[in-house]
Amino acid sequence: MELKQLQVPVVVVCALSALIATFAIVCRVWARALTRKKWEANDWLMVIAYVGLLGELIDAIVFVFVQYYGVHIKDVPVAAIVQMKRHPESRYILTSMALSANVFCNLSITQLYATLFPYTRFRIVCRALLALTVAYYISFMTVQFFSCPQKMDNALAMAQKCAENSRTIWVGASAGAMCIDLANVVLPLPLLWRLNVDFEKKVRLTLLFGLGFL
């Protein structure tokens, strides 16, 4: 099967994300081995996020090559269209994996902050952000599960309704994810800029912690 123009970015982005994540996981395991420190909660949360990312990559490849993800509807075989209309909810697997990777990565970062900065008020804020992130994740999964109508006589109408609901939910989920990402970037900045170090080091630390937003 020859990839269409819109299918290539899907595979490339997911593959690059998996490659970068693999490098990060290897570095973390290596660092733990060198320092001989036990694995903490943030390490395991990052591993779960990595598994979610691998699941997203596998799902993206399956959807691209099997369900014609990224192909214009006029270029999709009739048999494939019928199959997608019967199971439009299958597209939610990809979004669920993507969100799981993002959420558990954020949970790992927030928990790491709580470990690095032993300040009572800061840890309270971290716990609040952790609770908010978990609530956001559960809410999205619940809404997504019930967003596709199960009892509709017209399969095409059901597929269209699922697609509309999916777009609406995913826009909301993306906005929520960006807010949580931004919160994890901003959270340590007040502490970093109060450190008794020169300005250049503060900038470096800010850039280092800001990489989590990417």
Model pLDDT for residues 33-66, shown as the tens digit of each residue: 888 888 888 889 999 999 988 888 888 777 777 6
Residue 70 burial class via C-beta count within 10 angstroms: exposed 0-12, middle 13-18, buried 19 and up: middle
Task: Give yes or no for a contact between 139 and 131, defined as CB atoms under 8 angstroms apart.
Answer: no
Asked whether the predicted pLDDT for residue 86 surpasses 70, the reply is no
Please check whether residue 1 lies inside any domain of the structure: no
Dihedral sign for Cα atoms in the order 151, 153, 154, 155: positive
**Distance between CA atoms of residues 20 and 2, nearest Å:** 26
Tell me the per-residue pLDDT of 179-189, one tens digit each, with 9 for 90 and over.
998 898 888 88
Report pLDDT for 213.
45
Task: Indicate whether 78 belongs to any domain.
Answer: yes
Q: Is residue 49 part of a domain?
A: yes
pLDDT digits (tens, 9 = 90+) for 13-35: 878 888 888 988 888 888 888 88
CA distance linking residue 56 with residue 98, whole number of Å: 6
Higher pLDDT, 18 or 79: 18
Which of the pair, 14 or 163, is modelled with greater confidence? Answer: 14
Domain count, the chain: 1
Structural domain of 136: 7-213
**Is residue 170 scored above 70 in pLDDT?**
yes
90 belongs to a structural domain: yes
Mean pLDDT, the chain, integer = 78
Where does the pLDDT of residue 126 fall: very low under 50, low under 70, confident under 90, or very high at 90 and above? very high
- Pick from 8-12, 64-68, 194-198 the range whose average pLDDT is largest: 194-198
Span 150-165, average pLDDT? 62
Given a cut of 50, whether residue 214 has pLDDT beyond it is no
Q: What is the DSSP letter of 104?
A: H
Question: Residue 203 above 70 pLDDT?
Answer: yes
Alpha helices in 87-154 (DSSP H): 92-116, 120-145
**Residues whose CB is less than 8 angstroms from the CB of residue 109 and which lie 6 or more positions away in sequence, other chains included:** 42, 184, 212
Q: Tell me the mean pLDDT in the region 164-173.
A: 75
Range 123-149 average pLDDT: 87
pLDDT above 80 for 164: no
Query: Which of 34-43, 68-77, 163-172 holds the top average pLDDT?
Result: 34-43
Percent of the chain's residues with pLDDT above 70: 73
Percent of the chain with pLDDT over 90: 16
